[in-house]
Structure 1
Amino acid sequence: MSDMETKMKRAMALVWILISGAAQAGPAAIDRQALVARHNPQLKAVDPWAPLSVGNGQFCFTADVTGLQTFPEHYGGKGIALETQARWSWHEDPNPNGYQLADTNRDYTAHGQTVGYPTIMDGPAATWLRTNPHVWPLGQLSLRRGDGSALALEDIRNIDQKLDMWKGVLTSRYTIDGQPVSVITAVSPQQDTLAVRIQSPLLASGRLKVQLALPRGYDMSVKYNPPLDWSQPASHSTRITARNEHLLALEHQRDAARYAAAVHSAQAISVSRPGPHTFQLAPKRGEALDFTVSYAAAKVDAVPDAGKIIAQSAAHWQAFWNSGAAIDFTGSTDPRAAELERRVVLSQYLTAIQFGGDFPPQESGLTTTTWYGKNHTEMIWWHTAHFALWGRPQYLENALRWYQKTLPVARRIAAERGLKGARWPKMTSPQGRESPGGNPLIVWNQPHVIHLAELLYRGAPNRQTLERYRELVFATADAMASMLHWDGQRYVLGPPLWIAQEIYDQSTSMNPGYELSYWATGLALAQQWRARLGLPPDADWDRKRQQLSALPQKDGKYVALESTPDTWDNPASRHDHPSFLMSLGQLPGAGVDRAVMRRTLDAVLADWDFKTKIWGWDYPMIAMTAARLDAPQQAVDVLLKTDGPNNGYTAAGHNPNTDLPVYLPGNTALLAAVAMMAGGWDGAPQRATPGFPQDGRWVVRAEGFQPLP
């Protein structure tokens, strides 16, 4: 996609938000500005777990208390890294050996067939294919002393930093050497441009300047949260393409990857170059420095000055908050209500600044890097479903555009594995190339596309929606149906497969409960799409859905897997995701006996190993099951559970998980669960906010939510 197409798409998204906001401009039950304002993060001291970010969905800048990225070692070493990322920025190492995914294939034999899957993780081919391509970070912007030397943490005093989420503007005030410093940062809603406004007597006296440094990339030997790589300066190049007293334009290149960067200032600036990839800026006169830093894959177009971008940011974010749904817990006497409201508001902001790109996000969004920046498609429902439920479907539509673009790749994968339709890759590059490892054996990513298209249809139930996504829905359903095998009595799923609870033998796993229920739900939804389009039912889908295996259970409770039904017999099988609960929670319960699920939920809450390994998104997922079972008190309790890891939220709203300082599935699952608890679901009890307790301790005002199927 060209830069112009990207800008046009973002402009159209902004128009959609403005129109949606105007539609709700009448008297509202919820004072949305007050709701947002009371949760604006405000810091009075350095907190490496709470850097604050500004962004537009495709581009994000994360700052420390200086409003820039002055102390990356402290933040990255003790908390959350300080990075600038764009979802279009990727690098690939040379591949002189011509490694291909088939080089990592291992044969699996089941149901009379032998199929190769790229599951070999050892060796040079697997290493190159897994780590390439990888996300390529953009420049680091920091404050320096006038002589170019680094500031120390103790130099920053009297800190008062506040993120105004209603405007998308970060204001950072403090003193250095007893002199006041003010830094305002914001991001353009339409271009990948950071606006910066600095004011301090230290600028006029020449004792403070700004440094822009372009890293080589990341240290790709580190899988989670790799540090920026400043080594081998000769292995990449930074070329000045234009320069005058108001402009510094650059081209940064490493191997075949390149991007453009440009610093624009309405006032005259002086520029020095202390290193091949480092530039230092200062105003030629005065104690103010207003400038922009822009990035683009090809060429940076003219951008407004910093003041105009700050104003555009304010207009964009006001329209965002006035669009879609809102929820307010004012008046609640449950002491946890204010914290839940804070998490919900911050999560909306964090997802909006990181989930609007042309390629679905990595699990750490645009804040840090995990799994080389690749998208994990099994998380796409949890990442994006909430946008439809909250009445902001354009973010979900962005993600499904990538699926439409990648459909030929998914069809090729299906054909290679003897399947019909489109088989979606799991851990992918922007081009849809799968990564080797256990990833190709995961299957619960398949029905997501159908479910997400259905959410969009429920928001816009018209022929246009059906025509837009029919090919995705039907091709996905074809592959799902052809992945089922007849064992003489029923249709079974697997082996080989890797179930959502990632602890079982992939070569022998068969009939996981959650996946079976999702297969039944997905095929039923696909048939509904055929009926809406005036098409007859697909006989193959119908036959396989009707004769699908029952959800596995033992001793009156659901278990994760029919082939290894040890969930309640073996303590080692009670960690990671209790995925079978999703059959009635995320999903409407195809094949579920509610009494059995009730006993299963109680067993999970009583006996699951919450302390060893459970993920941030599991808590909201479990809450959704409790809500569907008409147990709202349990839903709230597990949503705010404190006696286990990975359910805390920082001052900036991030949900750190083990080894993952930023884990956005926690935020997005929280939004999905709250939307369901507030907006309801098909067949929900006929009362307002049916997923919240009705005992008087929770006062919940909600507006604009779309019910879940």
Structure 2
Amino acid sequence: MDLTGLQSFPGAYPVGARDELPPGTLLGTQAQWGWHSVPSQQRHNLAGSTVMYDSPRGPVPYVDMVGDIVNDRETGTSEAENWLRANAHRLDLGRIGLRWLDHGTERPLDQADITDAEQTLDLWTGVVTSRFTLAGYPVKITTACHPYRDEVAFRIESPALRSGLVIGVDFPYGSEAWHDAADWTRPDAHSTVVGVPMSSADDQGTTAWPVFRALDNSRYRALITGQRLGVEQTGQHTIRVSGEDMDPGAPDVLDFAVFFTPSGDGDCIPRGSNRSTPAAPQPGLQATAGYGVVLSTAGIVIAASAQYWPQFWSSGGALELEATDDPRAKELERRIVLSQYLTAVNCAGSLPPQETGLVCNSWRGRFHLEMHWWHAAHFAHWNRVELLLPSLRWYSTVLDSARQTAKAQGLDGVRWPKQVGPDGRESPSTIGTFLIWQQPHPIYLAELVYRANPSREVLEEFAEIVFESAVFMASFAHPTSRGFELGPPLVPAQESYGSIRATVANPTFELAYWQWGLRTAAAWRERLGLEPVEEWSVVADGMVKPRVIDDVYAAIDVEPFTIRTDHPSMLCALGVLPQTDVIDPATMRATLTAVLADWDWGSTWGWDYPVMAMTAARLEDPEAAVDALLLDAGKNTFLANGHNRQTDSLPLYLPGNGGLLAAVALMAAGWDNGPEQHAPGFPSDWTVKWEGLAEAP
């Protein structure tokens, strides 16, 4: 929302484009299920982008790109590649903003009309209160989102409601742009129809107007509800909401809610994906006839939010730094609190989130599985494992396609994709399809769930995901006279080596992750009373050790060995991961020192700073851990609302928030076989109070 508590000034909150297009906007409305695909004149498939690469197993097909990505811009890509990368894309479900109605003519507000603006998000209730003066009229707007339904509610209090202040709801077409979820240039490509209004069964005068949306094969509804509302369609894709026959003696108040929902067959969920089970109706909701939904009012939505968030803050983990003298402690605590809120809102749904969550699109709204750990692992560390479970369960819905990818490459098990929508279809890429560090992520996340709830039910639910991941990992590693090696081809977590993907081998982090992941999967078989898989142990025990040059770990095992840009991912091998046989702590300590000395901070990303903090903590250098978390660098910026800003095109970056929470939890609660002391990752002169945090592996 903007400073009006709605979406009244979309142009004032831009999201920068990565090509020569107009900017997008931060003011969108998105849901887990809200996806769309632009029809293609020809049936595109990944076979058209397949390129054969030499590997130790012989020629292997990879979904590559004819074009390339240069300075974050796609160049020379084919029509088929562009379509496959852009579809399905996440959809902006509707824009809700204030407008003036003057003698029958509706116009947007002018920013100059707004003065004395003050806006507060109450984290305890999740309710936003916006106060301002609009063309001389005082205005107060209360905004809330229902915790269990895709429903947003507004209470507008102002005498301006009697002088032409109304609400406009606009509906766009889906956009294939990298940075935008809305295309306003194709009004004839979709339809918006207001249905027959219906009344609630509670005799309270609540009425709902269903708005039916059709975009090619995608369907959804927006249900506008309230009492004494005027709702009318004033344009092809525009709805006006106003107060109807406001009694001269009645308060100057307009309450309404908008409930977005997929509409059954042909809805916005691509075939083959899952949908989270809807929660049971909350107290006070009344059933309606005809559409199989329940009606609520603005008051009910606001009350539901105010009931949910105190429960959130009163459960899970907590950390307090108030008594610490270091002036940086207050800023770190601010980031911790706001990151908990932002990740709970954006990262706890039925799908792994896109890197900008439900705020705005990046990479067309498609999510990146190598980032899933950074979005979600912290939920387990903060004793909120129930917020991790929905997205972890998604992997079971794409097992078949992941198995087909592995089989096509002559491998066993499942190979998890990188950049996908709900159906799990890979995107053509010169980098993404060559990444492997997402492969052990489901093992790690499932292990965190088991540590939180060490039950047979957890083991049985996620066994297939864990075991099939491990089968691929053992199959992918190939034996040599040195031991088991990884690649080529591949691209490590540090993507600086994408141009030499055909020759890259043995990245430091991935070697350690392979050993840890296979041993963890073996432990799952033992817990279930199953026979061990000998191959897993043979591969794990025989992994080659990473290359060391000048007493520090190189990033990869071939020239140029280490490029000092992008992620310093070799640090993850003892930081994100616990101690493994292939990593020497003294060498990793020298590697951390070398990274801190001269890494190109401008090329880093927000989660790199938690990486350095976790590595420093495990190496028993808590001062360096805190320094890393609060390093003064552009990509380590946390705005007033907690967003980890990266660039104009990435005005928020949730992996930075999630990584911060994972690092802080490790620093406070410690890790397996770590120092037996309170808050071992914090300096001894910091006063750290915590409860409910889980020890890291």
Normalised TM-score (structure 2): 0.89
The match for 2:185 among 227, 231, 251 is: 231
Residue 403 of structure 1 aligns with which residue? 395
Residue 104 of structure 1 aligns with which residue? 49
Residues 619-657 of structure 1, C-alpha deviations (whole Å, 9 max, x = no match): 011100000000000000010000x22111111110111
Contact 1:621-1:669 within 8 A present in 2 as well: yes
Partner AA of 2:364 in structure 1: Y
The match for 1:680 among 670, 685, 688 is: 670
Whole-angstrom distance in 2 between the partners of 1:310 and 1:648 = 31
Bigger shift: residues 76-85 or 123-132 = 76-85
The match for 2:658 among 661, 668, 672 is: 668
Whole-angstrom distance in 2 between the partners of 1:341 and 1:364 = 22
1:207 aligns with 2:164: yes
Whole-angstrom distance in 1 between the partners of 2:336 and 2:25 = 20
Partner AA of 1:558 in structure 2: Y
Shift of residue 112, structure 1, vs aligned partner? 4.5
Residue 529 of structure 1 aligns with which residue? 524
Shift of residue 582, structure 1, vs aligned partner? 0.3
1:124 aligns with 2:124: no
Whole-angstrom distance in 2 between the partners of 1:117 and 1:431 = 19
Residue 418 of structure 1 aligns with which residue? 410
Partner AA of 2:165 in structure 1: L
The match for 1:194 among 152, 155, 164 is: 152
Paired residues for 1:235-250 under 5 Å: 235-243=189-197, 246-250=207-211
Partner AA of 1:281 in structure 2: V
1:216 aligns with 2:173: yes
Whole-angstrom distance in 1 between the partners of 2:510 and 2:659 = 19
Residue 55 of structure 1 aligns with which residue? none
Contact 1:83-1:137 within 8 A present in 2 as well: yes
Residue 350 of structure 1 aligns with which residue? 342
Whole-angstrom distance in 1 between the partners of 2:303 and 2:495 = 47
Residue 696 of structure 2 aligns with which residue? 708
Whole-angstrom distance in 2 between the partners of 1:248 and 1:532 = 54
Paired residues for 1:650-665 under 5 Å: 650-658=639-647, 659-665=649-655
Contact 1:242-1:250 within 8 A present in 2 as well: no
Contact 2:321-2:333 within 8 A present in 1 as well: yes
Shift of residue 247, structure 1, vs aligned partner? 2.8
Shift of residue 95, structure 1, vs aligned partner? 2.7
Shift of residue 227, structure 1, vs aligned partner? 6.4
The match for 1:566 among 556, 561, 564 is: 561
Residue 37 of structure 2 aligns with which residue? 92
SS at match of 2:144: strand
Whole-angstrom distance in 1 between the partners of 2:212 and 2:42 = 29
Shift of residue 461, structure 1, vs aligned partner? 1.0
Bigger shift: residues 321-330 or 657-666 = 657-666
Residues 241-267 of structure 1, C-alpha deviations (whole Å, 9 max, x = no match): 22379332111111111110111112x
Shift of residue 356, structure 1, vs aligned partner? 2.4
Whole-angstrom distance in 2 between the partners of 1:531 and 1:246 = 58
1:369 aligns with 2:323: no
Bigger shift: residues 482-491 or 82-91 = 482-491
Whole-angstrom distance in 1 between the partners of 2:235 and 2:101 = 16
1:168 aligns with 2:126: yes
Whole-angstrom distance in 2 between the partners of 1:71 and 1:240 = 25
Query: C-alpha root-mean-square deviation of aligned residues, in Å?
Result: 1.4
Shift of residue 548, structure 1, vs aligned partner? 1.2
1:443 aligns with 2:443: no
Unaligned stretches of 5+ in structure 1? 1-62, 568-572
Contact 2:226-2:255 within 8 A present in 1 as well: yes
Whole-angstrom distance in 1 between the partners of 2:573 and 2:148 = 40
Whole-angstrom distance in 2 between the partners of 1:478 and 1:423 = 10
SS at match of 1:598: helix
Whole-angstrom distance in 2 between the partners of 1:641 and 1:326 = 23
Whole-angstrom distance in 2 between the partners of 1:364 and 1:562 = 33
Residue 591 of structure 2 aligns with which residue? 600
Residue 143 of structure 1 aligns with which residue? 98
Partner AA of 2:687 in structure 1: V
Partner AA of 2:517 in structure 1: G
Residue 257 of structure 2 aligns with which residue? 292
Bigger shift: residues 340-349 or 527-536 = 527-536
Residues 445-482 of structure 1, C-alpha deviations (whole Å, 9 max, x = no match): 00011111111111111211111111111110000000
SS at match of 2:60: strand
Whole-angstrom distance in 2 between the partners of 1:429 and 1:304 = 31
The match for 2:503 among 493, 508, 524 is: 508
Q: Percent of counterpart pairs with the same letter?
A: 45
Partner AA of 1:326 in structure 2: A
Whole-angstrom distance in 1 between the partners of 2:495 and 2:320 = 37
1:648 aligns with 2:637: yes
Count of residues in Structure 1 that have an aligned counterpart in Structure 2: 633
Residues 29-84 of structure 1, C-alpha deviations (whole Å, 9 max, x = no match): xxxxxxxxxxxxxxxxxxxxxxxxxxxxxxxxxx1110000000011268961111
Bigger shift: residues 162-171 or 242-251 = 242-251
Residues 335-374 of structure 1, C-alpha deviations (whole Å, 9 max, x = no match): 1111111111111111111122221100000001011111
SS at match of 1:228: coil
The match for 1:253 among 187, 207, 214 is: 214
SS at match of 1:143: strand
Contact 1:84-1:137 within 8 A present in 2 as well: yes
Residue 460 of structure 2 aligns with which residue? 467
SS at match of 2:115: strand
Whole-angstrom distance in 2 between the partners of 1:230 and 1:475 = 44
Shift of residue 271, structure 1, vs aligned partner? 2.8
SS at match of 1:154: helix
SS at match of 1:685: coil
Whole-angstrom distance in 2 between the partners of 1:586 and 1:251 = 46
SS at match of 2:646: coil
